[in-house]
Structure 1
Amino acid sequence: MSDPNEIRDPGVPAWHVAEEDLRAYGRGELAPPVLWSADTHLMACARCRAVLAEVSDPVPLDDGWERLDAELDAPRPGLLESLLVRIGVADHTARLLAATPVLRLSWLGAVVAVLAMTVIAANSVRAPGTISLFLALAPLLPLAGVALSYGPALDPTYEMAVVSPMHGFRLLMIRTVPVLAVALVLNGLATLALPAYGLRALAWLLPALALTATGLALTPRLGPVLAPGLVGGAWITVLMVARGADDGTLAPYTVPGQGAAAAVAVLAAGFFYLRRDRFDAVSAHPPFTGLPGGGAM
Structure 2
Amino acid sequence: MTWHVDAEDLRAYAQGELAPPRLWSADTHLLACADCRARLAAVSDPVALDAGWERLDAELDVPRRGLTEALLVRLGVADHVARLLTATPVLRGSWLTAVVLVLVTTVGVVHTADSPTFFLALAPLLPLAGVALSYGPALDPTYEMAVVSPVHGFKLLMIRTVAVLTTALGLNGLATLALPAYGLRALAWLLPALALTTTGLALASRLGPVLAPSLVAGAWVALLATARASGDGATLAPFTAAGQGAAAGVAVLAALLLFAARDRFDLSHRSAV
Length-normalised TM-score, structure 2: 0.91
Q: Is the 8 A contact 2:202 2:258 kept in 1?
A: yes
SS in 1 for 2:81: helix
Letter of the structure 1 residue corresponding to residue 143 of structure 2: Y
| Structure 1 residue ranges without an equivalent (≥5) | 1-10, 288-297
Shift in Å, 1:146: 0.7
Please tell me whether Structure 1 or Structure 2 has the larger radius of gyration of its CA atoms: 1
Distance 1:91 1:264 in 2: 34
Number of the residue aligned with 1:120? 108
Listed as ranges, the matches of 1:134-149 within 5 Å are 134-149=119-134
Question: 1:53–1:229: structure 2 CA closer, same or farther, 3 Å change rule?
Answer: same
Identity in percent = 72
Question: 1:172–1:39: structure 2 CA closer, same or farther, 3 Å change rule?
Answer: closer
Number of the residue aligned with 2:42? 54
Question: 1:34–1:285: structure 2 CA closer, same or farther, 3 Å change rule?
Answer: closer
Number of the residue aligned with 1:171? 156
1:193 equivalent to 2:178? Answer: yes
Shift in Å, 1:36: 6.7
Q: Is the 8 A contact 2:198 2:255 kept in 1?
A: yes
Over the aligned positions, Cα root-mean-square deviation in angstroms equals 2.2
Distance 2:183 2:145 in 1: 45
Distance 1:232 1:32 in 2: 56
Distance 1:235 1:39 in 2: 62
Distance 2:93 2:184 in 1: 30
Number of the residue aligned with 2:252? 266
Which of residues 42, 61, 69 in structure 1 aligns to 2:57? 69
| Structure 2 residue ranges without an equivalent (≥5) | none
Listed as ranges, the matches of 1:1-297 within 5 Å are 12-13=2-3, 17-18=6-7, 21-30=9-18, 42=30, 46-126=34-114, 130-243=115-228, 245-286=231-272
Shift in Å, 1:37: 7.0
Length-normalised TM-score, structure 1: 0.84
Query: Number of aligned pairs?
Result: 272
SS in 2 for 1:101: coil
Letter of the structure 1 residue corresponding to residue 204 of structure 2: T
SS in 1 for 2:151: coil
> Deviations 1:43-70 (Å, cap 9, x if unpaired)?
6765433222222222221222222222
Question: 1:273–1:73: structure 2 CA closer, same or farther, 3 Å change rule?
Answer: same
Q: Is the 8 A contact 1:210 1:261 kept in 2?
A: yes
Moved more, 134-143 or 76-85: 76-85
Question: 1:78–1:33: structure 2 CA closer, same or farther, 3 Å change rule?
Answer: closer
Distance 2:5 2:201 in 1: 67
> Deviations 1:256-293 (Å, cap 9, x if unpaired)?
22221111111111111121122111222225xxxxxx
SS in 2 for 1:273: helix
Q: Is the 8 A contact 1:162 1:286 kept in 2?
A: no
Question: 1:57–1:170: structure 2 CA closer, same or farther, 3 Å change rule?
Answer: same
Distance 2:126 2:201 in 1: 14
> Deviations 1:133-176 (Å, cap 9, x if unpaired)?
11110010010011111111100111111111122111111111
Distance 2:10 2:260 in 1: 64
